Amino acid sequence: MRLHLLMMTLALALGLCGSVQAAPRPPLEGAPVTVQVESGALSGRTWDGVQAFRGVPYAAAPVAELRWRPPQPAPAWSGVREAIRFGSDCLQHPLPTIVDPGSGQATSEDCLYLNVWAPASGPRRPVMVWIHGGGFTIGSGAMVASDGAALARQGVVVVTLNYRLGRFGFFAHPALTREHPDEAVGTYALMDQIAALAWVKRNIAAFGGDPARVTLFGESAGGGSVIALMGSPAARGLFHQAIVESGGGRDALPGLERATADYPAGYAAGRAFAIKAGLTDPDAAALRALTADKVSGDLGFTNNRNRSDYSGMVVDGRIVTGDPAAIFARGEEAPVPLIIGFNSAELGGAKVFTAPMTRQAAARFGPQETALRKLYDPDGGEEGLATHFLSDVIFAEPARMLARAHARAGRPTFLYQFSYVAEAQRAKAPGAGHASEIPYVFDTIALTDPKATSQDRAAAAATSALWASFALRGRPAGKGPAWPSYTAASDTLMDITPEGALPLTGRTRARLDFLEAAQAASRD
């Protein structure tokens, strides 16, 4: 009964709904401001108390001989480089009828750029580095929902970034290993994220940031990235706090030589792709000679599991050393304060799509299926199971499992559920859907939702204040009672509301206890 094998990618697709078309965001306006970073001088803009810099290269373009190589230093430039437009998004195939591509930027292999928002004055500030979601196949650091200006006005420096996606981000082939046997292969997306964090450490002081106070945060695939980086020796010391939003945590990852029920082994997937592209026994140069369109191929967003020619994230032994749950269980993750949580109905608004998966997953409980159904629907109905079951399996129970492990190791841990639903959506939404918390975390709801009410804006201000206070002082604080640290004994789960974080009551704990016991039984 391997519940972690459910299709997270469908969750991601259904959760990132937004406007069907996104226009490129206009260049920055305001008074010019110049900073000096390691590669040269940058000219951004100051507006309403915030300095903003867009499209800052943190690594060399990963093209030609640098495709499928660890990120290399960004080349220096002469003069002053304008930093008022976002860089290109990484190559991807968004589904505009389901998923809002978010930024409207052009896509390119030359995409390793980051963006910085910083208070225009004041003492050295803590830093928040955001990793976007999108199933590792879509997304952007330039999305309107993750604009960093409002967070910066609360006294933090905000960085968002792009990283290689799809087969550009996750690809392994023996030819690449033969070419550079001392380099990691297969996890280029995570290597990019680590390179961006290293750039922040070296350069963020130029923007008024404190490189010794970096909070890494991300949602969905970005949250999964944060979990992976917490367990990565290569990322150790590059961040000092972490926030995981709907990041899962129970996935069994394939290795370079080891397949899982979800994905083939990394080398096997690379060989299968090369053969499909007409290369039976290529060297690294032949692989890199493939066009970008050929590499992207038909790699979609919701149909990537069980493909023979795509491995997803792999255990490469250098960047990713094992499955996240096992690393946390051994207490080997980064010893940093952690906020981790999930939304109240991650997939609840997509029951027409998730119904077949719900039935299949419930059937895996065998004799316990009747007890499971009664737990979700005591009256014998189907609504509770359809609304919450997959959300609990994929997001909620793994979040609590990781929180328990992290707290058991003596690290400050804070577990949450985000349940706020915009007023205009309450008639049809059973709870907060996947990714719906992002404009509240960044306090951008007024930018992303033209129907946002005063209560919606208040909820965004309250949520954003919790995240900012964690970055500023190491503990989430805002309106409402104090947020206690999580322990397994207290099992304190806080519900994020317009009134601040409040202790959660109801059947959530019972559901998670049942699923946790089922996970334990499946390992026996």
Integer Cα distance of 285 and 295 in angstroms = 14
Q: pLDDT at residue 97 above 60? A: no
Task: Give the mean pLDDT of the chain.
Answer: 91
Q: Does residue 142 register a pLDDT over 90? A: yes
pLDDT in tens, 286-317: 999 999 999 998 876 655 767 899 999 999 99
pLDDT at position 506: 64
Give me the residue spans of the domains in the chain. 3-523
Rounded to the nearest 10 degrees, the angle between the axes of helix 351-363 and helix 369-376 is 140
pLDDT of residue 505 exceeding 80: no
Check: CB of residue 315 under 8 Å from CB of residue 258. yes
Residue 298 has a pLDDT of 80
- Per-residue model confidence (pLDDT) at position 449: 93
Q: Determine the pLDDT at residue 354.
A: 76
- Residue 352: its pLDDT value, please? 61
**Which positions are catalytic?**
220, 346, 434
pLDDT, average across residues 37-65: 98
- pLDDT exceeds cutoff 50 at 198: yes
Position 16 confidence tier, pLDDT thresholds 50, 70, 90 = very low
Give the model confidence (pLDDT) of 230-240 as tens digits: 999 999 999 99
> Per mean pLDDT, which range of 46-55, 155-164, 276-285, 301-310 is the poorest?
301-310
Higher pLDDT, 250 or 97: 250
Instruction: Return left, alpha or beta for 41; rule: phi > 0 is left, psi -120 to 50 is alpha, else beta.
Output: beta
* Other beta carbons within 10 Å of 292: 13
DSSP state of 474: S
Hey, what CATH class is 3-523 in? alpha beta
Distance (Å, whole) CA 86 – CA 450: 23
* Section 46-54 average pLDDT: 97
Return the bridge partners of 159, or none. Answer: 116, 129
Pair 116, 157: CB distance under 8 Å: yes
Instruction: Report the pLDDT value the prediction gives residue 165, as an integer from 0 to 100.
Output: 96
Count the Cβ atoms, other than its own, within 10 Å of residue 427: 7
* pLDDT score recorded for residue 14: 42
If you write DSSP's letter for every residue of 10-56 in order, what string do you get? HHHHHHT---S--PPPPPP-SEEEEEEETTEEEEEEEETTEEEEEEE
Alpha-carbon span 45 to 510, nearest angstrom: 51
Q: In this predicted structure, what is the pLDDT of residue 356?
A: 80
Residue 500's pLDDT is what?
Answer: 84
CA–CA separation, 53 vs 85, rounded Å? 8
Per-residue pLDDT at 458: 95
Q: With 0-12 CB in 10 A as exposed, 13-18 as middle and 19+ as buried, what is 521? A: exposed
Q: Name the band, by pLDDT with cuts 50, 70 and 90, for residue 99.
A: very low
Residue 303 pLDDT: 59
Of 153, 200, 177, nearest in space to 58 by CA: 200
Write the pLDDT tens digit of every residue in 17-34.
333 345 778 999 999 999
